[in-house]
Chains A and B, each alone.
Chain A
Amino acid sequence: MSTLVVIEVEDGRVELVSRETLTFARAFEAPVAALVLSATVPDGVLADCAEQGVEVVYALSGAPAAYAPAAWATATEAALAASGADTVLAGGTPRGLEVLAHVAARRAVRMAANVTSVVAEGPLRVVRQVVGGAALEEMELPDALRVVAVAGHAVEAVPAAIPGAAALTSLDAPASEADLRAVVARVQERAGGDASALANASVVVGAGRGAGGPDGFASVDALAARLGGVVGVSRVVTSLGWRPHHEQVGQTGSRISPDVYLPCGISGAIQHWAGCQSSKVIIAVNTDPDAPMVTKATYAVIGDMHEVLPAVLTELG
C-alpha cells in the first residue's frame, strides 16, 4: 500500500500547507506518492518532493489550463489507481478540501477534514478540530479508501530522513464532460491582495475591533510594511466592512503560522484563535489585560493600539 498526497504549487515550489501534508503523510509508514494540482510541474516542485521523501510524482498530461475541481478529482482517482494507495491526503486549503470531497463523494466513503493527528490504524482513527478548534473529535474512517484533509499548520514541514526518488510520472486522465460543468472561466486579479501571502507570511500584524473604524489601520499598515509583514484582521473587522475578507484570520478566514504575530486590539475569541494558534511568537497589544489574546500571548503590551503603535513606529525610526 502507499499514501497519495494531492499537492498545490506556489511560485514554482510546493506550497507550505502541502509540504506540511507530505510530512504528515509519512506517519502512515507507507511509500508516499504525490499528485501535482497544476498544469505544469516546475523543477522546484520535484526538489521539494524529493526532500519530503516522495517516491513518485504524478503529473496530469494535458491538464486543463483552467481550474476545474471535478477534473482534478478524476486525476486523483487515476493517481489512486496507478499508485495503489489506500489513503489520500491533501492540505486543508479550499482546493485541497474541494478535490478530496469530490473523490469521497464519488467513492461513497467518509472524509475527515481539519485533521491534526492519527490515533490508530486498522481501522484508521484520526483527531480533528471541530467547533472552530474549541473541541477535538476522534473520528473513525473504516472504508477501504481513507480520505483525509490535514489542518493547515497542524504539523511542521520537516525534510524526510531519506530523500525520495520523486520520479516524475505522467498520468493520463482525461476529464469527462460532466467534470467540466464547473470551470474557472476567468480570474479577476485582486488589487493589492493575495490571500496566500497571509497564510505564508513570517510576520503578521493583526488588528481587530480596537482599530475603531475603517480609518484606524494607518499605523497597522505602516508597522506591517516596516517589518516586511502582512496585515491580518479579525472577523468583526471584515463583517463591519472595514477591511476585505481575504485579510481575515480565523476559522472562516486564513490560518497563519508566522514567526511573529502582533494582534492589536483583538480580544482573541476562539474563532480568531483557530486561525492564529500556530504562530510561533505572539505579541499582543490590548487595553484589556484579561483578554484571551493577552493571556495566550508570549508577550503583551497593555495599552491602546492607537497610542502604542505610533510610539513603536517612532522607536523603529
Chain B
Amino acid sequence: MNVLVCIKRVPDASGEVTLTPDGLSVDGRYSGWTMSAHEEAAVELAVQLADASDGSVTVLTLGTQDAVEQLRSALSVGASDGVLIEADNPDQYGPTDIAAAIADVVRAREAAGTAYDVILLGNDAADTGDFQVGIRLAYALDRPVVTGVQTGSLAGDRAELHAEGATGTDVYDVALPLVATVLEGGVSPRYPSVMGRMKAKKAPVETVAAPADPMGSGRVALSVPPAPDSTVTILGEGPGAAPALVATLRELGVLR
C-alpha cells in the first residue's frame, strides 16, 4: 500500500527570527532550515504503515529547489521517491493553493497507476501554523480526514488511527483512502543510517510546476515583536533561596 507524506521546508526558529527586506517572509539564511516537527512524525508514521503493508512512501513538498534538501532528509529515513511542486516564491501559496496543488499530483499519479490510500501531513506547519491544508486536501479529493493523529495501523481496507483527545486517546476506524494530519509525540522519528543517506542521494525526485496564479495566503505584513526588557527579580541562589521562594508563593496566594 502506498503512502504519500507531505512536508514543508521551514526556517529553524529555535534561535532569533529575522525577516526578509520586504518584510513578508522569515529569512532562513542565518537560522538554517528544517522540516516541521509534526512532519518528522508524519514521515515516521508513513514509513511504519508502508513497511507493515509491503508498500512504499512518496514524500512531497511545495517549494523552491532548495526544498529538495528536506525531501532527501525524508528519503534517508525510509521514503522511496520524492515530488517537488516547484514554486519560485512558495510564500505566495496559501493553504487552499497548496491543497489544490497536492490534489493535482495525487490525481495525476492515480491516472498513471499509482494510488495513495493514505496521505499524511503535519498537523500544522511550524512557520505559518495554518491548521488547514490537510482538511482542504481531503475535501479536494473527497476523502475522510482525521487530524492530530499520533499512531495508526492498517487492517484490510480500513485504518485505525489514534489521536490525542482532551481526556484520552480518540480512536478512529476509517475506510481507505483517507487523509490524516499527524501530531508529534506518538512515534519517534528515526535517525538516518549511512545506507539510508546513500540511498537518499540516488532516490528519484520528480519536479512538477506549481499552478500559476495562486490566490495567496492573505498575508499583508510580518513583524517580529521586540523582546521586552527583563524585569526579573532574583530571589537568590541555590537551596538557600527556598525561604524567599516560599514567601513569594505565600504572597501570591497559591499556598493552601
Contact = CB atoms under 8 A, between A and B. Distances in A.
Same complex for A and B? Answer: yes
Interface of A: 10, 67, 69-70, 94, 97-98, 101-102, 104-106, 108, 110-114, 125, 128-132, 134-142, 149, 178, 181-190, 194-196, 202-203, 227-229, 235, 238-239, 241, 244-246, 248, 251-252, 259-260, 269-271, 281, 283-284, 289, 294-304, 307-308, 310-312, 314-316
A54 to B, nearest CB: 22
Interface string B183-207: 1111010000000000000000000
Given A195-B166, A228-B256, A295 B232 contact: yes
B44 interface: no
Given A94-B164, A301-B238, 9 more contacts: A104-B132, A135-B26, A188-B169, A227-B249, A228-B256, A295-B230, A301-B234, A301-B237, A308-B241
Contact of A190 (B11, B95, B169, B236): B169
A307 B217 CA distance: 50
B82 to A, nearest CB: 25
Interface of B: 11, 13-14, 17, 19, 26, 37-38, 94-96, 99, 124, 126-132, 135-136, 138-139, 142, 144-148, 150, 162-175, 178, 183-186, 188, 217-225, 227-228, 230-246, 248-249, 252, 254-256
Contact of B188 (A70, A130, A241): A241
Interface centre among B99, B227, B246 (most CB of A within 10 A): B246
A110 B136 CA distance: 11
A248 B185 contact: yes
A150 to B, nearest CB: 13
Contact of B186 (A113, A131, A245, A304): A245
Contacts of A196: 166-167
B164 A298 contact: no
Contacts of A245: 150, 164, 183-186
Nearest to A131: B13
Nearest to A203: B254
B238 A308 contact: yes
Contacts of B167: 187, 189-190, 194-196
Contact of A183 (B126, B136, B172, B225): B172
A137 B131 contact: no
Contacts of A129: 129
16 contacts: A94-B148, A97-B147, A102-B135, A110-B218, A128-B129, A131-B127, A132-B126, A134-B224, A135-B26, A141-B218, A182-B172, A185-B171, A187-B165, A194-B166, A238-B185, A303-B237
A195 B164 contact: yes
Contact of B222 (A132, A137, A190): A137
B218 A139 contact: yes
A294 B242 contact: no
B239 A303 contact: yes
Given A190-B167, A252-B38, A270 B13 contact: yes
Contact of B147 (A94, A111, A114): A94
Nearest to A124: B218
Given A149-B131, A187-B169, A134 B13 contact: yes
